[in-house]
A and B are shown apart, each in its own frame.
Chain A
Amino acid sequence: MKILIVDDQKLARMNIMKQLDESFTILESPTFEDAQRKITNHTFDICYIDLRLDESKELKGLELLPEAVKKGIYTVVMTSVEDEKAAEMAYELGCQDVYIKGNEKEHIADTINRFLLSKESFTEDHLLKDIIQTQNKKYKDDLKKLVRIIPTDIPVCLLGESGTGKSYLARAIHDLSKRKGKFVEINCATLSGDTLKSELFGHTKGSFTGAVADKAGKLLEANNGTLFLDEIGSMSLEMQEGLLKAIEEKVFYPVGSNKMVKSDFRVVCATLDDLEVLIKSGKFRFDLFQRISGYTFVQPALRNRKEDIQQILKTKLSGSRKIIFKEDAKKILENYSWPGNIRELFKFAEIISLSNAGIIKAEDVEEFTKTSSFNEKKGILYQDQYDLIKKVGLKEFLDTLTREIMLKSLEENEHKVRTAIRELQISSATFYKYYDKDQAVRMNMPLKGQEYINELH
């Protein structure tokens, strides 16, 4: 934490300093001009300002407030006498606390606590109002917990399905952390072997074919900032070893160099892999996992925060013409499994904003959900099926599904039972366990097929 103490009396400055933690960076200003210069040229978290500076009868300290407040510094005015008017003016100028000098021990502890609280609540407000809007209680609670980690240097590991916004959240963590350096992103899945090594650690000229000049790596680029390692689960074991050393010691060697490079970076990583499974199968180092997972945060899948779908769409479409969703369309949007998560929802928003329709009907949504390319990669379970399983139980669901599959196969094979049995790769016993003769009759099974079944019986 960086603090500025503005007071023309050395003893008063010392009294404040005595109460501050040794780990804080503290600068002193004995004059108005010096304070003005420091506030303009430096960044501070807290600024203690004495109102009467340079033996002036004027409340010169007040003149420092606008610039300090503008720069987002938590300002505390210290006055030697109870002066309500001065206090009122100070508050009106945006200062956070006013104290009468004396009893610094309590006052300083109080201001530090109030500063930390204000910072946390500011971060929480900003994160939950401007960056991620959610009505989902669990997600909201999780984000509130994350707020406490944001200003620290604790590594954060973001888990979650593809498209849930892990990169977006990683950037928000960096922006809200107030780390002065850059947010440097690298996707470990797109690069491999030597290329990834060179990208991360940098290289010297001539260290390999094509290294025509020295190049600083991402680790150095992220000095005083955040290094975001996306899809870290894809990283090779050899790279993991190098990265582990760099994270632990904050020093590394560029490829082809024996000169040690220092970099102070915070690690935020993301993966959709189950790292514990990768550790068990020997594909991911446990010690690296421990280093990167100081705090683990799970970005929920969109289907698990259905209550947010309408709001996200509304925000995404806010700049375009008015688009109305019919109730049944809304229902489908909520019941759809969104395998591509927010990314897929954004794509949907893009499609409808480009279409000419002002009213979005159920069939418009259905057309999208049926043809969405995000559906391809996922397993065979759909959300509506899963919902049904939850209602009727897995056994009932599987029995019904098996029956339906058998009837479908019979239908497609001119009701030839043997062909269906062969096609479905099941035994006759299994077929008859599920076969519903009455239903088959209701479905107008041709007599020939029916006779054949009787034969089999």
Chain B
Amino acid sequence: MNSTELMLKYKHDTLGQFRDLKDAIESLDAADFQGTDKIEVFEAVHEVLLKMVKTSGATIEAVAGKRN
């Protein structure tokens, strides 16, 4: 993948993940914070957020590497 393709993929993935995150977080309500039923939603959201940070860092490094 060249840097343009990398950026396009980053954009597509990140937007997609934001949309998924938005849907998942919107599905929660105050009552969920008292029970344990929705704990897996929190875990899933957390997993995505961590991955996004990681992917974001890796993409910046990869793009920088290709420019150098």
Contacts and interface: CB of A to CB of B under 8 A. Distances in A.
A15 B20 CA distance: 8
Interface of A is mostly: loop
Contacts, number: 35
Interface residues of B, number: 18
Contact of A11 (B8, B12, B13, B21): B21
A80 B41 contact: no
B20 A80 contact: no
Contact of B16 (A10, A14, A55, A101): A101
Interface of B is mostly: helix
Nearest to B47: A10
B47 A9 contact: yes
Nearest to A102: B16
Nearest to B27: A18
A15 B24 CA distance: 9
A9 B24 CA distance: 13
Nearest to A82: B12
B19 A14 contact: no
A11 B19 contact: no
A14 B13 contact: no
A11 B47 contact: yes
A289 B47 CA distance: 57
A12 B20 contact: yes
B63 interface: no
A447 interface: no
30 contacts: A9-B44, A9-B47, A9-B48, A10-B40, A10-B43, A10-B44, A10-B47, A11-B20, A11-B21, A11-B45, A11-B47, A11-B48, A12-B20, A14-B24, A14-B40, A14-B41, A14-B44, A15-B20, A15-B23, A55-B51, A80-B9, A80-B12, A80-B13, A80-B16, A81-B8, A81-B9, A81-B12, A82-B12, A101-B16, A102-B16
